[in-house]
Structure 1
Amino acid sequence: MKKLIYILFIITMLASCTSHQNRQKQSFETAGSGKIVVYQVFTRLFGNTDTINKPWGTIEENGVGKFNDFTEKALKEIKSMGVSHIWYTGIPHHATVTDYTQYGISNDDPDVVKGRAGSPYAVKDYYQVDPDMAVDPAKRMEEFEALIQRTHQQGMKVIIDIVPNHVARHYQGLNNPEGVSDFGADDDTSLVYARNNNFYYIPGKAFSVPAPKDGYKPLGGSKHPLADGKFDENPAKWTGNGSRLAQPNFYDWYETVKVNYGVRPDGEYDFDTLPDSYKSKTYKEHYAFWKEKEVPDSWIKFRDIALFWMDKGVDGFRYDMAEMVPVEFWSFLNSSVKIKNPEAFLLAEVYQPDLYRDYIHKGKMDYLYDKVDLYDTLKHIMQGHGSTDNIAPILHKLADIEHHMLHFLENHDEQRIASPEFAGDAKKGMPAMVVSATLSTSPTMLYFGQEVGEPGAENAGFGAPSRTSIFDYIGVPHHQRWMNKGKFDGGQLNDEEKKLRSFYKRLLSFTANSEALMGHYADIHSFNRSRTDDYTDKVYSFVRWNNKEKLIIVSNFSAANSFAFELQIPADIMGKMEVTDGNFIAADQLFGKKTTSLNVKDGLGTIDIQLAPLQSYIFKIKSN
C-alpha cells in the first residue's frame, strides 16, 4: 500500500514539475543572474555596542544603534553574503517614551506605547525618520539620506516599511509637505464612518486604556508623569486590529488606530472595484483604471507617502499586514509606485493563502511571505515533529506563483531558530536554509543575527524572550560579537558562530550567482521515498537546472542520525535536464570539498550519498 501511495504521488508531482518547468522557461530562463537576497535588519539595534541589557532600560542605560553605524565596512560585509536588498526595519518616526521635546516632538503616553522604545509599527509621523537612530536628531533625515547613498554605493537597494492599516494612537505629522493635511485633521468625528474620514470613531465614548493582564505595568512600573492609566481621546477611535470597543482588550493593538480605506462598518466597499479581467493586466493599465476615479482620502495620503520616500532614494517597501487593507487600494498604490520606478521591490505581509493570487495579480504585489506553507512546514521539521514529505506538495500548490513567495526562516515577528522555544540550536536551521534558499526562484530573506545563531534570549521589557525585541532598547549579543565594536570582522565570535556565518555566506552567495536556481525544478524526494527505507522523511532532495547549470540538492534534517543511500533521478527528469548516459563529476558547491560521481545508465541517474547529521550538499554536475 505504501508503495502504491508513493507511486501515485510521484505521477502527480512529475506532472506538476512539467507544468512548473514550462512556466519557468517562459519567465526566468534568460534571466542571466541568480536569486534576490534580502537582509532584514532592525535598524536601531544593529549598531548598538552596549551590553547592559537592563529590562525596560532607557536609551542611556541600554544604548541604541545609529544610521552612521552602517559604515562602508559593515555594508561591504553584508553585501559579501550575496545580499541585493537591505530592509531597514523601523525607519518612519514611531511613538516612543524617550523624550525628544527639545526637537519639537511631543511626548508619547506610556499607557499607549508598547515598550520603552516603542513599536516601529505605531508610526507617529510618516514624513520623518525615527530620532533614536540619528547622532543629531535635528538632522535625522539627512543622516538617513546618507545611509541610502552608502547602501547604493555598495550595490544594494533600500527597502523600508509602510504600515497602511494603522497609525500610532497619537499621530502627529510635524513634517508634512506643503498642502498635505494630517491624518484625521479633516475628519467628521461625529460619525462612525465617512468615506473620506481617515479613521473610524465611536461617537459619545472616550477611549479607555485596556485593563492590564499578567501583572503588566507600563515601563515595568517605572515612574513616569504620563503613566497614569489614562489617555485623552474623545471620541474613541477603532483600534488597529479592528476592535470597535472604546476600551480595547490588552491583547489588541491598542497602541494604534485603524485607518479607513472606504470600507463601511458592514464591510461594503465605498469605491470602485476592479473587474476580474485586471488580474492579467499590467501596472500601467491599473494606473490608467484609477487615474480619473475619485478614491478615499486615505488612499491619496498613503500614495503620497510612498512617492515621498521614493524621492528620497528608497527602492521599495515592505507592507505590514497588507491583507487588512482592500486589494483595490494596493492596485492604486502599487501601480503609482511602479509608474515612478518599474523596478521597485514590493513585499507584502499576507497570511491567508486564498488571498495570495488576488494580492499578486490584482494588488500588483511583487512578493508575499511564504509563512503559512513553507516556513511553518520547515519549522515543524526543525523541531523534530514534521516530515519532509510535506515539502513537495507546497511547490505543487504554489507552482503558478512560486516566484512571488518570499522565503525566510526568521524575521522580527518570528522566534529565533536558536531559542529553546523554536529549535534550541542554530545549526538545526542549516538544512532548512538550504532548502528554503534553493527550492524555487523566489527571493530569500535573512534576519540580522540569524547568521551567527542569535537566540533572542534577552528580557528586554515588553514581551517575552525568543524573539529579539522590537519594542525596547537592547543589545543583540551574538550579533555584537560579529560587529566587534564597529570593526565588523567577527573578531569576538566563537568557532561555532564563525562556522555558521561562513555557511550562510557560502550558501547565499551561491544562490545570488546561480542561474540554475532561476530555472527549472523537479522533485526527486517522492521517487526515492518509494524505493528504499534507507531514505527517510528526515531527508529531502530535488534538482534545479537551466541550459548552463545542473544541480542536485540533498539535505539531512536529523540532528542525531547519519544516512547512506543511493539517490536516484528518474530517466524522464534526466532527459529534461539534458544529461545523457555516462559518468559525470558531481562537485559540492557549499564547501567545495566533496566530489562524487553521477552515473547515468539507460537514462536513470544514480549517485551515492552519505549525509552526516544536519548536512547538506549542492552538487553541480560536470563532465568528466
Structure 2
Amino acid sequence: MNKKIVLLLAIAFTGSSTLAQKKSFALMKKSEPVVEQPKKTVVYQVFTRLFGNTNTTNKPWGTIEENGVGKFNDFTDVALQEIKKLGVTHIWYTGVPHHAVIRDYTKFGISNDDPDVVKGRAGSPYAVKDYYNVNPDLAVDPAKRLEEFEALIARSHANGLKVIIDIVPNHIARNYKGLNNPKGVKDFGADDKVSVEYDRDNNFYYIPGKAFEVPTSPDYKPLNGEKNTLSDGKFSEYPAKWTGNGSRLAKPDINDWYETVKVNYGIRPDGTKDFPELPEGFDKKSIEEHAAFWKGKDVPNSWKKFQDIALYWIEKGVDGFRYDMAEMVPYEFWSYLNSSIKIKNPNAFLLAEVYNPKEYRNYIHLGKMDYLYDKVETYDHLKAVIQGKALPDGLSDIQNNLQDIEHHMLHFLDNHDEQRLASPEFAGTPEKGKPLMVVSATISSSPTMIYFGQEVGEAGNEDAGFGKRSRTSIFDYVGVPNHQRWMNEGKFNGEPLSESEKSLRDFYSRLLNFTLTSDAMLGSFREIQSINREQTANYDPGIYSFVRWSSTEKLIIVTNFSWITESKFVLKIPAKIISEWKLQDGVYETKDQLYNNETVTLKVIDGEGYMKVKIKPSESFIFKL
C-alpha cells in the first residue's frame, strides 16, 4: 500500500488532519511525522481524587482526615502499567483543574470557598476556580501541585498512555480567582461592563441592579448543616450573573447549577450570534482551512481566554480534552478553538459532551470535534434492553443511521455522570453488564470508554453525603470499595478481589485488548439480526448478532442479553455477506476470540451460511473466521 493511501486511512479513522505520532511532545517540531496504522482507542476515565484513596471509612460528608483522598502520586508506574495492560490507550484524569473546595489552603495563597456556592465538601470538578493550576487536594505538597501533575503527565507518557483532562467552557465557578494567570492574561470578567446585561466582549451575562441570592431549600443545607464561618446563606456578587445552566434569575433554583456562572461567547440574550459565522461548505473544510479562516478575525474575548487555557495545557504535554456540555457553546467557537489546538498538536484527542443528535454533525464537521458521547442512542438503548424495556434489534437502526459519523461517536456504559453499570438502577449485576460491554466495544469503530472500577464491578453503593448511591460521588471524599480491593494498598495486583471480580477484570482485559488488535474493528458493519429474527427458530428475544470485517479479518458476533435463558439455534449468515466475503460452498472453522475455547463450524450451502450456536445467559462470542 502506498504512503498516500496509508495517510488517508489514518485521517479517516482518527478524525485528525494527520497521524504524526512523535517520540515525545517536546520533540514535536523537530521530528518527522511517523504515520501509524489506525486502531481502536480505549479511554480509561478515572476520578483522580478517588483513585488512590485507601481509606474505607466512608462517613457521609466526611472530611479528608475522616475519609481520605487520593493523590497524583498514587498513579505509580505499577498502577499505570496495570491500566495499560487492561487494554487502554488514553487516560482521562477527571477533576484536575483547580475547582472550588471546602478546605483551608490560605497558607498557599488560595482563598477559601463559600459552602453556600459549593456542592458537597470536596466540590464539583465542573466549577473550575483557576484554570492555570490544579486541585490542591491532589498534591502531596499543595505548593508544588502543578509540578506534581506535570510529573504525572510525564509518567503517563512513559507508560504508553496519552493524557486527557477536562475543560468546561460553558461555565466557571462563581468564586473564580486566577492566582496563576500567565503574563498578559486577565481574569474572567476583569474588563466586563457590568451595568449591562450583555456586551459581546463581556465574559459573563449580568442582571443589572440585582444582587445574587443563594438558593434555598428545606431539604438541603450546605455541609449538611455543619458550622462554617462562610456558611451564612449569603454570597457577595453584585450585580448578579446568569447561572451556568442559563438561569437568568438573581436567585436561581436549588436544582440549577447555582455554583457556576454562564460564560458569554457572543450569543445575544435573544439567541442571535454576534461574531463571524463559518461560510457555507465549511463542514467539508480541513483543520488548516478552519484555522486560516479565523486568523485575524475579531472574536469575543471569551474565545481568546479559552484558547489561551487550552494551548497552555497542550504546551504542558496534555494530549487532549473532554469538553463538558459542549453543545451549550456555539460550534463556531469550537472551530476556532479546535483548529488552533490541532495546529499545535495534530494528534490531540478532542471529546465533547453533546446530547442532541440533530447537532452531532455540526459539532463534528463544523466544530471539528473528534468524538462525541453516543449517549442518547447506543447507551440509552443498551440500558433499556438490559432493563427489559426494549429488544436489542433497535441497535441496528442506530448503527445504520450513524453510519457516516459512527467513528466519531464514543461508546461508554459508565462514567461520572451516569448510574454505575453494576448498580441495581442499571444492569443490576456486573455479569448482566457483560453483553452490553461486548456490543458497546465491538459494534463500531468508535473509541470505547470505561470508568475506573467498572472492570471490577463497582456498583456505587455509597451514601457519600451530597452524592447519593448508584453513582460514585464526584462531590465528596469517599472510598471506592471494589476498586480499593484491586488497588490492594498500592500493589495494584487485585489479590483481595473475589473470584468473580477477578474474572470480570479478566473479561474486560480480553475484550479491550482484542479490540485494539482487530483489523475488523475498523472495517465494515452489517446487522444479521433482522433475518435471524424473522427466519431462525429458537432465536430468543435477548439475542443480538452482527458481523464486522476487513480485508484481513471476518468476525461474527453473537451476544445474549438474557440473564436467565440459555439459547440454542442455527445462526444464518445472509447470502449477500457470504458473497462479499467471497466464501464458496463448504465448511469453515470459526473460533471465539474472547476465551479461545469455543470452535464452531460455519457451513456455506447454496451461497448462505449456517452455524450452530449454543449460548449461555449473559454470554457473548466473537467468532473469527
Does TM-score exceed 0.5, indicating one fold? yes
Identical aligned residues as a percent:
66
Q: SS of the counterpart of 1:380? A: helix
Q: Which residue pairs with 2:138 in the alignment?
A: 133
Q: Which residue pairs with 1:581 in the alignment?
A: 585
Which residue, 379, 383, 406 being the options, matches 1:402?
406
Cα deviation code 1:49-102 (max 9, x no counterpart): 000101000111110000000000100000001101001000100001111111
Q: Which residue pairs with 1:7 in the alignment?
A: none
State the AA in 1 paired with 2:137. D
In the alignment, the residues of structure 2 paired with residue 131 and residue 584 of structure 1 have an alpha-carbon distance, to the nearest angstrom, of 60
Q: Which residue pairs with 2:88 in the alignment?
A: 83
Q: Which residue pairs with 2:182 in the alignment?
A: 177
Alignment of 1:146-157 (within 5 A): 146-157=151-162
Shift of 1:343: 0.7
In the alignment, the residues of structure 2 paired with residue 535 and residue 32 of structure 1 have an alpha-carbon distance, to the nearest angstrom, of 38
Q: Which residue pairs with 1:465 in the alignment?
A: 469
Cα deviation code 1:251-302 (max 9, x no counterpart): 0000000000011111111101112310000010000111021000000000
Q: Which residue pairs with 1:15 in the alignment?
A: none
Which residue, 427, 436, 441 being the options, matches 1:423?
427
Change (3 A) 1:82 1:529: same
- Please list every run of 5 or more consecutive structure 1 residues that lacks an aligned counterpart in the other structure: 1-22
Cα deviation code 1:12-35 (max 9, x no counterpart): xxxxxxxxxxx9999459984531
Contact conserved, 1:24 with 1:520, CA < 8 A, in 2? no
Cα deviation code 1:452-481 (max 9, x no counterpart): 110101111113210000001000000000
In the alignment, the residues of structure 1 paired with residue 226 and residue 512 of structure 2 have an alpha-carbon distance, to the nearest angstrom, of 44
Q: Which residue pairs with 1:103 in the alignment?
A: 108
Q: Is 1:604 matched up with 2:615?
A: no
Q: Is 1:540 matched up with 2:565?
A: no
Q: SS of the counterpart of 1:257? A: strand
State the AA in 1 paired with 2:117. V
Contact conserved, 2:215 with 2:253, CA < 8 A, in 1? yes
Q: Is 1:120 matched up with 2:120?
A: no
Q: Which residue pairs with 2:273 in the alignment?
A: 269
Q: Which residue pairs with 2:621 in the alignment?
A: 617
Q: SS of the counterpart of 1:151? A: helix
Which residue, 353, 356, 361 being the options, matches 2:360?
356
Change (3 A) 1:91 1:536: same
Contact conserved, 1:202 with 1:238, CA < 8 A, in 2? yes
Q: Is 1:318 matched up with 2:325?
A: no
Cα deviation code 1:372-391 (max 9, x no counterpart): 00000000111122211111
Q: SS of the counterpart of 2:129? A: strand
State the AA in 2 paired with 1:574. I
In the alignment, the residues of structure 2 paired with residue 55 and residue 118 of structure 1 have an alpha-carbon distance, to the nearest angstrom, of 14
Contact conserved, 1:348 with 1:367, CA < 8 A, in 2? yes
In the alignment, the residues of structure 1 paired with residue 13 and residue 459 of structure 2 have an alpha-carbon distance, to the nearest angstrom, of 37
In the alignment, the residues of structure 1 paired with residue 11 and residue 42 of structure 2 have an alpha-carbon distance, to the nearest angstrom, of 22
Q: Which residue pairs with 2:61 in the alignment?
A: 56
State the AA in 1 paired with 2:154. Q
Q: Which residue pairs with 2:391 in the alignment?
A: 387
Q: Which residue pairs with 1:567 in the alignment?
A: 571
Shift of 1:211: 1.4
In the alignment, the residues of structure 2 paired with residue 37 and residue 242 of structure 1 have an alpha-carbon distance, to the nearest angstrom, of 33
State the AA in 1 paired with 2:403. A
Which residue, 345, 369, 384 being the options, matches 1:365?
369
In the alignment, the residues of structure 2 paired with residue 408 and residue 51 of structure 1 have an alpha-carbon distance, to the nearest angstrom, of 28
In the alignment, the residues of structure 1 paired with residue 232 and residue 594 of structure 2 have an alpha-carbon distance, to the nearest angstrom, of 57
Shift of 1:216: 1.0
RCO higher in structure (CA 8 A, sep ≥6): 1
Q: Which residue pairs with 1:346 in the alignment?
A: 350
Contact conserved, 1:33 with 1:513, CA < 8 A, in 2? no
In the alignment, the residues of structure 1 paired with residue 109 and residue 66 of structure 2 have an alpha-carbon distance, to the nearest angstrom, of 23
Q: Which residue pairs with 1:198 in the alignment?
A: 203
Q: Which residue pairs with 1:488 in the alignment?
A: 492
Q: SS of the counterpart of 1:241? A: coil
Q: Which residue pairs with 1:167 in the alignment?
A: 172
In the alignment, the residues of structure 2 paired with residue 370 and residue 149 of structure 1 have an alpha-carbon distance, to the nearest angstrom, of 30
Cα deviation code 1:571-618 (max 9, x no counterpart): 111121233322111111101111111111222111100010000000
Which residue, 281, 285, 291 being the options, matches 1:281?
285
In the alignment, the residues of structure 2 paired with residue 68 and residue 390 of structure 1 have an alpha-carbon distance, to the nearest angstrom, of 45
* Equivalenced residues, count: 598
Contact conserved, 1:32 with 1:515, CA < 8 A, in 2? no
In the alignment, the residues of structure 1 paired with residue 441 and residue 239 of structure 2 have an alpha-carbon distance, to the nearest angstrom, of 49
Q: Which residue pairs with 1:241 in the alignment?
A: 245
State the AA in 2 paired with 1:73. V
Contact conserved, 1:125 with 1:173, CA < 8 A, in 2? yes
Q: Which residue pairs with 2:258 in the alignment?
A: 254
State the AA in 1 paired with 2:415. N
Cα deviation code 1:197-247 (max 9, x no counterpart): 10011111000000124x211111111111111111111000000000000
Shift of 1:567: 0.4
In the alignment, the residues of structure 1 paired with residue 543 and residue 310 of structure 2 have an alpha-carbon distance, to the nearest angstrom, of 44
In the alignment, the residues of structure 1 paired with residue 11 and residue 179 of structure 2 have an alpha-carbon distance, to the nearest angstrom, of 49
Q: SS of the counterpart of 1:132? A: helix
Q: SS of the counterpart of 2:60? A: coil
Cα deviation code 1:305-351 (max 9, x no counterpart): 00000010000000000000001000000000000011100000000
In the alignment, the residues of structure 2 paired with residue 234 and residue 308 of structure 1 have an alpha-carbon distance, to the nearest angstrom, of 31
In the alignment, the residues of structure 2 paired with residue 235 and residue 510 of structure 1 have an alpha-carbon distance, to the nearest angstrom, of 56
State the AA in 2 paired with 1:125. D
Shift of 1:423: 2.1
State the AA in 2 paired with 1:536. D
In the alignment, the residues of structure 1 paired with residue 540 and residue 404 of structure 2 have an alpha-carbon distance, to the nearest angstrom, of 29
In the alignment, the residues of structure 2 paired with residue 26 and residue 285 of structure 1 have an alpha-carbon distance, to the nearest angstrom, of 16
Contact conserved, 2:10 with 2:37, CA < 8 A, in 1? no
Contact conserved, 2:536 with 2:572, CA < 8 A, in 1? no
State the AA in 1 paired with 2:196. L
Q: Which residue pairs with 1:308 in the alignment?
A: 312
In the alignment, the residues of structure 2 paired with residue 364 and residue 545 of structure 1 have an alpha-carbon distance, to the nearest angstrom, of 28
Contact conserved, 1:582 with 1:600, CA < 8 A, in 2? yes
Contact conserved, 1:33 with 1:514, CA < 8 A, in 2? no
Contact conserved, 1:54 with 1:61, CA < 8 A, in 2? yes
Cα deviation code 1:391-417 (max 9, x no counterpart): 100011101100000000000000001
Q: SS of the counterpart of 2:214? A: coil
In the alignment, the residues of structure 1 paired with residue 468 and residue 151 of structure 2 have an alpha-carbon distance, to the nearest angstrom, of 35
Contact conserved, 1:589 with 1:619, CA < 8 A, in 2? yes
Alignment of 1:225-240 (within 5 A): 225-240=229-244
Shift of 1:536: 2.6
Q: SS of the counterpart of 2:43? A: strand
Q: Which residue pairs with 1:216 in the alignment?
A: 220
In the alignment, the residues of structure 1 paired with residue 386 and residue 106 of structure 2 have an alpha-carbon distance, to the nearest angstrom, of 47
Q: Which residue pairs with 1:516 in the alignment?
A: 520
Contact conserved, 2:455 with 2:505, CA < 8 A, in 1? yes
In the alignment, the residues of structure 2 paired with residue 481 and residue 239 of structure 1 have an alpha-carbon distance, to the nearest angstrom, of 40
Contact conserved, 2:349 with 2:370, CA < 8 A, in 1? yes
Change (3 A) 1:478 1:618: same
